Structure 1
Amino acid sequence: MARDIRALPKAHLHLHFTGSMRHATLLELAERDGITLPESLVEDWPPQLSAADEKGWFRFQRLYDVARSVLRTEGDVRRLVREAAEDDVRDGGRWLEIQVDPSGYAARFGGITAFTDLVLDAVEDASRETGLGMAVVIAANRTRHPLDARTLARLAAQYAGRGVVGFGLSNDERRGRTDEFRGAFEIARRADLALVPHGGELLGPSHVRTCLDSLGPTRLGHGVRSSEDPQVLDRIVQAGIALEVCPVSNVALGVYPDLSSVPLPQLLEAGATVALGADDPLLFGSQLAGQYATMRAAHDLEDDQLAELARMSVRASRAPNSVRDSVLAEIDLWLSEADSSGEGRTTERKS
């Protein structure tokens, strides 16, 4: 008998704004405004993706841009945030740090500051309505000029302590020069924001090393391929840098051939802090609890190992201490439930 994954309290640290949209919401909003969606976002959903080459990533990004285009009104933005919160609560989420690049919405919503205000207000409302602790990570796009990243870093710093807890760098890590974004991360560092660039998914440990040297991350978005170089992985462990590992998207994008190949056991054995995340459920078809369920099945994880993964997600978060303490106590309770009670337990392996 295995405890119910959805009942396990956890934090969610790697969820992209547009990618958090429900598939049903995407279809409804597209129909409302007469937007024609690619078949891979309709009948063939979730799409078959691979980012092994530039063409594959371009296709992935095109689907992402199409999905972003259905968000036309303030109400759409509020709905997306509320539904993302509801989905996390259903999956046992207690704290969510949702990542957004305001420049992707600036033209439609009155600029990056106005859009950030809207998102933060929507987050506050959704948190109050669902009981989920929530915060925002502002992310720059590495395919744009590093000066744009500095603008977003200053924006993030402006809202530090007012709902924004981190600064990231996303998109195809094979493009742009990571060291050119050092200045943006220095701005965010001075504001005491969590530094959470993507790295070590599409590129290997050499790029992880570049991220460590140039950006000084607090957490690393993905970082899973640090397992390929023991010295790089040991450096991560010694520095206490958490890895935001997203197993389902790793497989969907062709980083690993199957879920059993995702090197979670190697990362944990080395002493790495790992926070499982869903990345983009809209494109990968799997929510937060699904990441825990697939890793349980692929690597025969015991309940105490799953509980420790949940604890690591909480400890690596920017949740207030009171929230951290409360959720950690809930995790202990989940693990200590009497086997004979049958409560909160299931034989299911899927979420």
Structure 2
Amino acid sequence: MRQIPKVELHLHHEGAAPPSFIRGLAGEKGVDLSGIFREDGSYAFRDFVHFLSVYEAATSVLTSPEDYARLTRAVLEESAAHGVVYSETFLSPDFCGGGDVAAWREYLLAIREAADGAERDLGITLRGIVTCIRHFGPEAAKPIAICAAETAGDWLTGFGMAGDEMKGQPSDFIWAFDCAREAGLRLTVHAGEWGGAASVRDALAALRPDRIGHGVQAIDDLALVDDLAEQGIVLECCPGSNVALGVYPTWSAHPIQRLRARGVKVTVSTDDPPFFHTTMTAEYERLAASFGWGEEDFAEINATAIDAAFCDAATKDTIRKKLGDRT
């Protein structure tokens, strides 16, 4: 499974930071983050809301463009080790310059330079998706959308929203999404992870995204499932994350196979891999064990993912060649 070339569309940049990297950076800066780690060195959290606070605490030691360059290299080394040849990562100017466009440009340049180096050295291609943070509120999302619009291009290709799905309504964020859309950015939004099927419907109606992050609770509304299939909306599924956080009790209970069988376009990603003790290799192994997926199934998943990627046509053609006969 490790050797299969893979495409990953749903990866939070800070959430992919190895715990050892964050501990090391905290040590360099004299910051005590011992409370966010277990005795075995992994991240410690009780539930989704606590996970968000631990995530933000870990991110607090990332305070400069250089920190983000180092983080980017660490994340891409880990992804490449598990066969990922193309990845899209969620980046938030909230954490990279506090929503100031000039500061955000400096962070983005550092991230991109590190990504270019990893592509040269490791053969993995990265593209960026700016995300506003839902629980920070709609007013806070506006400068983040402006940062995205001002830096949209061949590398920064998307805009989305992450954070606590239970805070506010998708319609609260129409201004931010319209701003990004007008700048030519492709759109994705987290929904249907915690907010039920209705949250997917609301996100589609208000924000008109190209993709839905997670979206798995759509399975509880089969009419919605059929709408997703008919409209070709792609779901960025993260089964390991959903099981680790208790959205579903076991892998066999996860609806990814039922969604796929009903015609929904699904992809596979890790979300925040070290938090959830997963990798792309582990996701594939567990999908194979739980649903009997084999080489043809993974080829279809990766073909769906590169078709849905927010990069340009030339990049897609390059990645398809890396995927080879499997797609």
Moved more, 79-88 or 241-250: 79-88
CA apart distance, 1:224? 0.9
C-alpha distance in structure 2 between counterparts of 1:113 and 1:73, whole Å? 12
Q: Relative contact order, CA 8 A, sep 6+: which one is greater?
A: 1
TM-score, structure 1 as length reference? 0.86
Aligned match of 2:13: 17
Structure 1 counterpart of 2:146: 154
Query: Alignment identity in percent?
Result: 31
**Structural mapping, 1:74-113, within 5 Å:** 74-107=65-98, 111-113=103-105
The aligned counterpart of 1:139 is 131
CA distance in 1, matches of 2:215, 2:308: 14
Structure 2 CA distance for partners of 1:161 and 1:258, relative to 1, 3 Å: same
- Higher mean displacement: 114-123 or 267-276: 114-123
Residues 176-206 of structure 1 deviation map (CA, whole Å, 9 limit, x = unaligned): 2211111111111122211111000011111
The offset of 1:107, in angstroms, is 4.9
Instruction: Kindly provide the CA deviation profile for residues 296-344 of structure 1, in whole angstroms up to 9, marking residues without a partner as x.
Output: 1111112211211121111111233233234334434358xxxxxxxxx
- Which runs of no fewer than 5 residues in structure 2 stay unpaired? none
State the distance in 2 between where 1:275 and 1:167 align: 18
Matched, 1:62 2:58: no
CA distance in 2, matches of 1:242, 1:108: 29
Measure how far apart 1:152 and its partner are: 1.6
Match of 1:209 among 201, 204, 213: 201
More divergent stretch after superposition (299-308 vs 203-212) = 299-308
Q: Tell me, what secondary structure is at the counterpart of 1:281?
A: coil
Cα distance in structure 1, aligned partners of 2:28 and 2:142: 36
Amino acid at match of 1:65: E
CA drift of 1:263 comes to 0.8
Aligned partners of 2:91 and 2:131 also within 8 Å: yes
1:14-73 per-position Cα deviation (integer Å, ceiling 9, x unaligned):
0001111112212222222233234552415545655xxxxx333111210121122244
Contact 1:221 1:244 (C-alpha < 8 Å) held by counterparts: yes
Kindly provide the amino acid, as one letter, of the partner of residue 75 in structure 2: A
- After TM superposition, the structure 1 = structure 2 runs for residues 1-351 of structure 1, keeping only pairs within 5 Å, are 5-38=1-34, 41-47=37-43, 49=45, 56-107=47-98, 111-334=103-326
Q: Relative to 1, partners in 2 of residues 1:266 and 1:291: Cα closer, same or farther, differing over 3 Å?
A: same
Identify if the C-alpha distance between structure 1 residues 121 and 211 changes in structure 2 by more than 3 Å, giving closer, same or farther. Answer: same
Amino acid paired to 1:259:
W
Counterpart AA for 1:13: L
Q: Deviations for 1:201-249, whole angstroms, at most 9, x for unmatched residues? A: 0111111000010000101010111111111111111111110000111
CA contact (8 A) 1:275 1:312 kept: yes
- For 1:115 and 1:85, how far apart are their aligned partners in 2? 17
Q: Is 300-309 or 255-264 further displaced after alignment?
A: 300-309
Shift in Å, 1:137: 0.3
Answer whether contact 1:245 1:276 (CA < 8 A) is retained.
yes
The question of whether the paired residues in 1 share the 8 Å contact of 2:296 and 2:326 is answered with no
Q: For residues 49 and 267 of structure 1, do their structure 2 counterparts lie closer, same or farther at Cα, with a shift above 3 Å needed?
A: farther
Query: Is the CA contact (8 Å cut-off) linking 2:3 and 2:83 kept in structure 1?
Result: yes
1:258-297 CA distance string (max 9 Å, x none): 1111111111111111111111113112122222221111
Structure 1 residues 63-110: Cα deviation after superposition (integer angstroms, max 9, x where no partner): 101211222443321111012112221111111111011112325997
Change (3 A) 1:147 1:117: farther
Deviation at 1:162, TM superposition (A): 4.1
Question: How far, CA to CA, are the matches of 2:131 and 2:246 in structure 1?
Answer: 24
Q: Counterparts of 1:108 and 1:130 in 2: how far apart (Å)?
A: 31
Question: What is the identity, as a one-letter code, of the residue corresponding to 1:37?
Answer: L
Q: Deviations over 1:160-184 (max 9, x none)?
A: 2142110011101001221111111
Q: Structure 2: which amino acid aligns with 1:30?
A: A
- Give 1:53's aligned residue: none
The answer on whether the counterparts of 1:241 and 1:273 sit within 8 Å (CA) in structure 2 is yes
Larger radius of gyration: 1
Figure out how many residues of one structure are paired with residues of the other and give that number. Answer: 326
Cα distance in 2, alignment partners of residues 46 and 308 from structure 1: 33
Kept in 1: contact 2:154–2:312 (CA 8 A): no
Check conservation: 2:197, 2:217, Cα contact below 8 A: yes
Separation in structure 1 between the aligned mates of residue 191 and residue 180 of structure 2, nearest angstrom: 18
Deviation at 1:257, TM superposition (A): 0.4
